[in-house]
Amino acid sequence: MSVSSNQKVMSNNYLFEPNPSVSVPIRGDDRRFPVNRIFCVGRNYQAHAAEMGDSIDKSTAEPFYFIKDLSAICESGSTIPYSAGTSDLQYEMEWVVAIHKGGFEIEEAQAQEHIFGYACGLDMTRRDLQQKGKDKRRPWDLGKNFENAAVISEIVPVTTTGVLTAGPIELRVNGETQQTGDLSDLIWNASELIAHLSKFYTLQPGDLIYTGTPEGVGPVVSGDKIEGCVAGVGSIELTIS
Ligand code: MN
């Protein structure tokens, strides 16, 4: 019998132990948020697009995405090794939207109903490998999708925060501010992203959307302590060993 990838196979009989499910703590709840997929939005703040040598005209442009594997998830407060294969590991502070209700071709006006909560995220990037991919017109995976590349804080339910559309987003390295922005500067807001992304994927409970980074991305070195925050959501910490 052939089994499509959408069908769940229940079995206790595996060649080796399957990886455990990946989950994130929820503020004010003993239960954890099981992570399904990790979508990341590229260039969603004009000032960051500019520092990447781009300018976004929303009247003609569409958002674009890349995906990280579950193995990239890393909880806030972790100490991680400097990533393999790069000499330009960089931080990108991001506001993360957590989906608890799936859907295909979700209407923008209904998009908020699909959001369970928000988190702070770090889209860790091997910038040199990403740049090499761009130069050679190859995929970004080596630059974006690797262990500990999707750092995430606890998820805070919307019932706690209220619907967020504005508020400061910041990142400090060793106490020094490197990134500042405001959620109101997102080129595509959370509802627009959900409406757009769900034209291409059937969104599922547990999907995370890293909504893009403001200006000021930069490198880290061993020993650095990264701290970020999104007003109304909370904070995130990461140390490079
Ligand atoms: Mn990013």
CA 98 to ligand 1 centroid distance, Å: 16
Query: pLDDT digit string (tens) for 54-75?
Result: 999 999 999 999 999 999 999 9
Q: Which amino acid is at 214?
A: P
Position 80 in a domain = yes
Do the Cβ atoms of 123 and 149 come closer than 8 Å? yes
Residue 1 lies in a domain: no
Give the containing element (helix H, strand E) for 122: strand 115-123
Residue 9: the pLDDT is 77
Residue 15 belongs to some domain of the structure? no
Q: How far apart are CA 29 and CA 156, in angstroms?
A: 9
**Structural domain range at position 187:** 23-240
20 alpha carbon – ligand 1 mean position (Å): 26
Structure tokens at 30: 């003993």
Distance CA 119, CA 107 (A): 23
Q: For residues 108 and 192, what is the distance between their CA atoms, to the nearest angstrom? A: 6
Using left for φ > 0, alpha for ψ between -120 and 50, and beta otherwise, residue 216 falls in left
CATH number where 194 lies: 3.90.850.10
Residue 1: is its pLDDT beyond 50? no
DSSP state of 19: P
Q: Starting from the edge strand earliest in sequence, which strands make up the sheet with 225-230, in order?
A: 78-80, 234-240, 225-230, 168-173, 176-182
Please provide residue 192's backbone torsions phi and psi, each rounded to the nearest 5 degrees.
-65, -40
Q: Is the pLDDT of residue 133 over 90?
A: yes
Q: How many residues does the chain have?
A: 241
Rounded to two decimals, what is the model's pTM?
0.95
Asked, for residue 16, whether it belongs to a domain, the answer is no
pLDDT digits (tens, 9 = 90+) for 153-193: 999 999 999 999 999 999 999 999 999 999 999 999 999 99
Q: Tell me, yes or no, whether 13 lies in a domain.
A: no
97 found inside a domain? yes
pLDDT, residue 73, reads: 98
Q: Is residue 3 part of a domain?
A: no
Query: How many Å lie between the centroid of ligand 1 and the Cα of residue 121?
Result: 9
CA 178 to chain centre: 19
Instruction: Output the CA 94–ligand 1 centroid distance in Å.
Output: 7
Total domain count for the chain? Answer: 1
Which of helix, strand or coil describes residue 149?
coil
Cα-based angle 45, 224, 79 (whole degrees, multiple of 5): 95
Q: Is residue 134 in some structural domain?
A: yes
Tell me how far the alpha carbon of residue 75 is from its chain's centroid.
12
Q: How far is the CA of 11 from the centre of ligand 1 (A)?
A: 37
The model's pLDDT over 189-230, given as tens digits with 9 standing for 90+, comes to 999 999 999 999 999 999 999 999 999 999 999 999 999 999
pLDDT at 8 over 90: no
Q: Which helix (H) or strand (E) holds 49?
A: helix 46-51
Average pLDDT over the chain reads: 96
